[in-house]
């Protein structure tokens, strides 16, 4: 098991000196406490309804968090990793590129968690930098691993620092997840609410890009956009309702969704994997691609 406290835990001989030094920085653990209220708020934020009491009523016998709740506890930790060591770093030019979430068994309804974050990989794309952070989320009292998140961001204008240009294979976290040539095996549509982003941001992503028109305009958008992780959560809910529980999920953010638009999730089952793609119905535009979940096998389901 990798120790997040080891400054050389994620060293790579292909890294430039700049990257090697940045990787040695060890972030302080960040605590995250939550209750059933936070679970319900997240579930509502990704479109759970008053009819789906297993997700919106704490008294339901099957109550619990949707699997992608796992991106919430790590958020304060992952966003705290500094990128200002990059040349020409400008936070306004940062784009969320990919997200991978591993879910290690049932998600507690409430808890005290500890998040540890580190820089996992840095790629020099020439005109941009691609930085992947990894966050382990553990139970504060038992030390049990609950979630692992890998988040990749692209920082435009911050390339040219040397080092490797291509990343290593990290299994499901970097899988291409190419959609098969046949028609989807299942398709689910869901119209988002105009207030979707305003609701989702209460789960912890306070970026004004998703609520303030003036800030969205600076980013080049006509109006505030929906959080990429919200679009991921909605489509992941479609996969869950269609094929059942999964133990990991990976997506690439390829386009934006505006609150009020319709998310269309196209799914292809390939063995234990469900590959999916997300489109915006009104504009016939791709929002998520290179996406897939790994389904929980039957033996594991019996333990849950």
248 in catalytic set: no
Average the pLDDT over 66-87 and give the result. Answer: 93
pLDDT at 144 over 90: yes
Please tell me the predicted confidence (pLDDT) of residue 1: 66
Q: What is the pLDDT of residue 127?
A: 92
Residues 6 or more apart from 273 whose CB is under 8 A from it?
177, 292, 293, 294, 295
As a residue count, the chain comes to 304
Q: Per residue in 260-286, pLDDT tens?
A: 999 999 999 999 999 999 999 999 999
In the predicted model, what is the mean pLDDT of residues 25-48? 96
301 pLDDT more than 60: no
The yes-or-no answer on residue 210 being catalytic is: yes
According to the model, what pLDDT value does residue 197 have? 98
Which candidate in 97, 159, 228, 233 is catalytic? 228
* pLDDT above 70: percentage of residues in the chain: 97
Using the predicted structure, report yes or no on whether residue 91 has a pLDDT greater than 70: yes
pLDDT of residue 219: 80
d(CA 298, CA 209): 42
| pTM flag (> 0.85) | yes
Residue 302 phi, psi dihedral angles, 5° rounding: -65, -25
Domains in the chain, ordered, with CATH?
A: 17-159 (3.10.129.10), 186-303 (3.10.129.10)
- Residue 90 pLDDT class (50, 70, 90 cuts): confident
CA distance 31 to 14: 33
Cα separation, 58 vs 34, whole angstroms: 13
φ/ψ of residue 40, rounded to 5: -65, -45
Task: List pLDDT tens digits, range 110-119.
Answer: 999 999 999 9
Residue 303 has pLDDT above 50, yes or no: no
Q: Let me know if 255 is a catalytic residue.
A: no
Extract the tokens encoding 262.
């319709």
**Does residue 44 register a pLDDT over 60?**
yes
- Evaluated on CA atoms 85, 90, 92, 98, the torsion sign reads negative
Which residue of the set 225, 234, 249, 275 is catalytic?
A: 225
């Amino acid at each position: 098991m990798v120790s997040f406290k080891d400054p050389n835990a994620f060293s790579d001989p292909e890294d430039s000196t700049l990257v090697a030094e940045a990787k040695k920085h060890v972030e302080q653990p960040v605590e995250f406490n939550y209750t059933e209220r936070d679970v319900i708020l997240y579930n509502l934020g990704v479109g759970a309804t008053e009819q789906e009491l297993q997700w919106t009523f704490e008294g339901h016998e099957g109550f619990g968090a949707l699997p992608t709740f796992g991106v919430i506890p790590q958020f304060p930790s992952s966003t705290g990793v500094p990128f200002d060591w990059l040349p020409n770093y400008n936070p306004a030019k940062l784009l969320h590129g990919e997200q991978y979430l591993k879910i290690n068994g049932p998600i507690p309804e409430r808890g005290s968690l500890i998040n540890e974050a580190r820089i996992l990989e840095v790629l020099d794309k020439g005109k941009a930098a691609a930085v992947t952070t990894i966050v382990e989320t553990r139970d504060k009292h038992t030390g049990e691993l609950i979630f692992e998140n890998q988040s990749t961001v692209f920082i435009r204008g911050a390339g040219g620092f040397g080092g490797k240009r291509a990343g290593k294979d990290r299994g499901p976290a970097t899988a291409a997840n190419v959609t098969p040539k046949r028609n989807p095996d299942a398709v689910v549509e869901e119209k988002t609410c105009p207030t979707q982003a305003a609701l989702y941001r209460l789960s912890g992503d306070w970026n004004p890009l998703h609520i303030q028109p003036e800030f969205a305009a600076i980013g080049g958008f006509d109006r505030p956009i929906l959080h990429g992780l919200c679009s991921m959560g909605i489509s992941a809910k479609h996969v869950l309702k269609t094929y059942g529980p999964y133990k990991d999920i990976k997506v690439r953010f390829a386009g934006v969704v505006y609150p009020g638009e319709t998310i269309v999730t196209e799914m292809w089952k390939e063995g234990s994997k469900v590959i999916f793609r997300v489109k915006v119905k009104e504009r016939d535009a791709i929002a998520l691609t290179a996406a897939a979940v790994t389904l929980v096998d039957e033996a594991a389901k019996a333990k849950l």
